[in-house]
Every structure is written in C-alpha cells, then in structure tokens.
Amino acid sequence: MCDTFVVVRPDAVLFGKNSDRDANEAQRLDWVAAAEHADGATLRCTWTTIPQVRRTHALLLSRPYWMWGAEMGANEHGVVIGNEAVFTHARHERQGGLLGMDLLRLGLERGATAEEAASVISELVAKHGQGGRAGYDDPSFHYHNSFLVADGREAFVVETAGREHVRERVTAGVRAISNGLTIEPFAEEHADPIVGAVAGCAVRRARVTKLAEEALGPADVAAVLRDHGPGHDDPSYHPLNGAMRAPCMHAGGLVASSQTVASWISQLSPGSALHFATGTAAPCLSAFKPVALDRPLDLGAPTGVADATSAWWRFEALHRRAIGDPAAAAKLRRARDAWEGWDARDPIEAWRDWGAFVAEQRLALGPRRDLRPGYVRRYWAARARDAAAAVPKLPAWS
C-alpha cells in the first residue's frame, strides 16, 4: 500500500513516494554500479531468472531487504520510478513471474529516459508476467502493480493486470497513483474495487493530488508525504485498516495494516537530479536526508529483526517510542524541523549528523506513553515480539 506522485512543471519535475509495507519489513538503501554483461548471461530476480542485457545503469535503490527488486529508486541518467500494488481480477503466474519491485529495478537498470524505462516495464510484464510472494507477514499476499516513471522532462504511468498493461504520458500538472487502477477503460475492465476500497486508495489519491497542486520544491513534497489527513497532526486510526486513509500510513488495523517504512523525494530537470530519502519508517517523525548515486553510504544491513547498528532500526526504536504519545511526537517533529534542511549538504556528513540527532532524541524523551486504541497497541506488541526473534521471517537477499 503506497502513494506516489509527480508534479510536472516547466522548470522541474518533482517526485515523491511513501513505501508502505509490513511494519518490520526494513528497507535498505543500496548503491549498484553500472556493469557490462556477457552475451547469453542470465539474471536472477527475486523469484525467477530472465535473460540479462549487455549493459546496466548505475542505481540508487530503496528496497525491502529480502527482495532483489526495489520500491523506489533512481539511475545515473536522472530517471526515478515508484511502484504501487494494485488489485485486479487477472491471475498471478503459477510458476515464477516478476514482482513489481523487480520490474521497477529492471526499468531503472535498462532505461536511460522515462519513456525507455516505461517501455522496459511494459515489455517485461508482457513477456514474463507477474507472480511470487510479495508480502512479508503474509506468505499468500500477491498483487499486480502500477508504476510512476519520471525524468527531468516528463513522466509516465504504467498500469498492469497480469500480463496486460496500459500507459499514460504526463507532460504537465499533478499525477498521483495509489493502490487502484486509474486509466480507463483498463481500470473498469480489470480492477477489484472491493480490495481497493479496503486499501483506501481513492481517498488517499484525492488527498495527495489536492496537496501536491501547491508543491514548488522538495520541502512541499515532504509535507504531502507527511500528511495524516485534514485537521490531524497525528495518525487517525480505524479498526478496519488502521491509519491507511492518509498519505503517511501507520499500521494497526484488524483487516488491513500497512506502515510507511521508507520515503523518497526527487527534484529533476534536464541534466540535474537531486534526491532525498528518509532511509527509515514514519516520514512524519523522520527527516529527509540528501543521497547521491556517486556517494555510497554505509547505513547497515537491516532485516526483519531489530538491531542496534543499522540506520533503519536505530530510528525505528525512536519512532515506536514517540508515535503513541502526541506530546512526544510533537516535540520530536519540532526538533526534526530545526535539523532538516534542503540545501546542498554533503550526504555523508548529513547522515552522520542524523545518527547523532537520533541518539540525542532518544535520550531526550521522557517516560513512554501510548495513547493509541487498544487494537493498535496489540498489533504493535506482536510486531515487537517478531522484531525480537532470533531470525527474520524471510532471509536477506544475497
């Protein structure tokens, strides 16, 4: 469950994405070098193997730790992509098939423009189909995908249902995708409206579109990704699906439950690309830090089990301590706002300073309070037990 949007303006293209997945499903920032490959080489993706191409581009990815593919990322040519789960009546591949996250990474590896990357995704969907386990907590969770592909000039929406696909070009204004098909008549033919309604996709997409109309730069994009809905500084929960009706998603529902586990912002123009990532859950409390394809960072190797060294889990301890206490959350947001900047800070220095900030804020918080509804507290107690297990539910991709 995610939200992704672009704002295409004459001077720049703004891109923003929240990656909403299971609460303990840590996401890694990975730097992948450009590479040359031999004729006839093959490529192992998450659940299937496909033919490799001669050259692949350099990438920066934000990926669930157990997948080959990624939820969002950028390549050396200034192309960025975000994907969304969509729920359709089309079948999933019984053998193999590509995950949407695999398709996203393949688009970045093989496309030097948004149009090329969109074509790569469409062609691979038609050839290999979509399939394989896509959920962390639920082994039976499967879905199809939509994609928002952008560069410094334009963007493309690619929506899929099994091996079928449709594409829309975006040359001006705001375009948002969530967890439902939007391009007609493709959507009318293939969408599963019941699951889409539970996911709250139409409500979130409308909210994101409205807020993004005023976005002029990365700070405005961050405000959209941090939104909890009209009149709410803190998450507003519902027993059915937790806090899934707003862009900044918080887990805790009895039927559906997803958490924003990583977020990304890009500002693109021809010949220039600036990228910012949280590298953590909960953008409402976390900060966006600069990242660059030519400045690899060592942020640890998080999995689904808590650790004391990775950037993702070090902040997660702070997030889980503050999120149920409105006073503590407000205090953390104020400190974050004073720390966060959108200037051209060196990524290595910014992330080092962020680590110190997180440590200071953990010491500064008072006794923990959790004022969330009981069903939310029970959900998170179960996630805490899972995070303390000896091994994660799925092994790390290697």
How many other CB atoms are there within 10 angstroms of residue 390's CB atom?
Answer: 5
Q: What is the pLDDT of residue 92?
A: 81
Facing residues of 289 across strands?
277
Pairing verdict, β 164-170 and 173-177: unpaired
For the segment 283-298, the average pLDDT, to the nearest whole number, is 98
* Mean pLDDT computed over 21-50: 98
Angle between helices 114-128 and 100-110 (to 10 degrees): 130
What mean pLDDT do residues 303-314 have? 98
pLDDT of 235 reads 97
- 242, 257 Cβ separation under 8 angstroms: yes
State the virtual CA torsion across 326, 323, 244, 165 in degrees, nearest 10: 140
Distance CA 147, CA 157 (A): 6
pLDDT tens track for 327-372: 999 999 999 999 999 987 899 999 999 999 999 999 998 888 999 9
- Tell whether the model's pLDDT for residue 27 goes beyond 80: yes
pLDDT at 198: 67
Beta-sheet strand order (sheet of 155-161): 27-32, 59-64, 72-75, 80-86, 144-150, 155-161, 164-170
Lowest-confidence region among 2-6, 96-100, 194-198, 366-370: 194-198
Specify the 3-state DSSP secondary structure of 204.
helix
Strand partners, 28: 63
| Mean pLDDT, range 37-61, rounded to an integer | 98
Q: Give the span between the Cα atoms of 316 and 261, in whole angstroms.
A: 9
pLDDT score, position 45: 98
Contact (Cβ atoms closer than 8 angstroms) between residue 297 and residue 351:
yes
pLDDT tens for each residue of 382-398? 999 999 999 999 999 98
> Among residues 394, 360, 398, 333, which one has the least CA distance to residue 26?
394
pLDDT, position 398: 82
CB 106 within 8 A of CB 141: no
Q: For residue 123, is pLDDT > 90?
A: yes
The whole-angstrom separation of Cα 75 and Cα 110 is 9
C-alpha triplet 210, 75, 263: angle, nearest 5°: 40
Q: Among 195-209, 214-228, 249-263, 264-278, where is mean pLDDT lowest?
A: 195-209
131-140, 194-203, 292-301: range with lowest mean pLDDT:
194-203
Catalytically active residues, by annotation: 2
Query: What pLDDT, on a 0 to 100 scale, did the predictor assign at position 93?
Result: 78
pLDDT of residue 50: 97
pLDDT for 366: 84
Per-residue confidence at 309, pLDDT binned at 50, 70, 90?
very high
Shortest CA distance to 59 belongs to which of 21, 100, 125, 111?
A: 111
| Confidence (pLDDT) at 343 | 83
Q: Count CB neighbours of 361 within 10 A.
A: 20
Confidence of residue 192 (pLDDT cuts 50, 70, 90): confident
What does each C-alpha distance from 17 to 28, 240, 267 come to in angstroms? 15, 24, 12
DSSP 91: P
CA distance 331 to 361: 9
Q: pLDDT band at residue 64, thresholds of 50, 70 and 90?
A: very high
Helix ranges restricted to H, the chain: 100-110, 114-128, 186-190, 193-199, 201-212, 218-225, 311-322, 326-339, 347-364, 374-387
Residue 196's pLDDT band (boundaries 50, 70, 90)?
low
Burial 176-191 (b: 16+ CB within 10 A, else e): bbbbbbbbeebbeebb
Rounded to the nearest 10 degrees, the angle between the axes of helix 347-364 and helix 311-322 is 30
Q: Is the pLDDT of residue 145 over 90?
A: yes
In the chain, pLDDT over 70 holds for what percent of residues?
98
- Is residue 70 scored above 90 in pLDDT? yes
Q: Residue 178: its pLDDT value, please?
A: 92
Q: What is the mean pLDDT of the chain?
A: 95
Determine the pLDDT at residue 199. 65
- According to DSSP, residue 123 is labeled H
* Separation CA 37–CA 44 (nearest Å): 13
Q: What is the pLDDT of residue 236?
A: 96
Helical H runs in 92-183? 100-110, 114-128
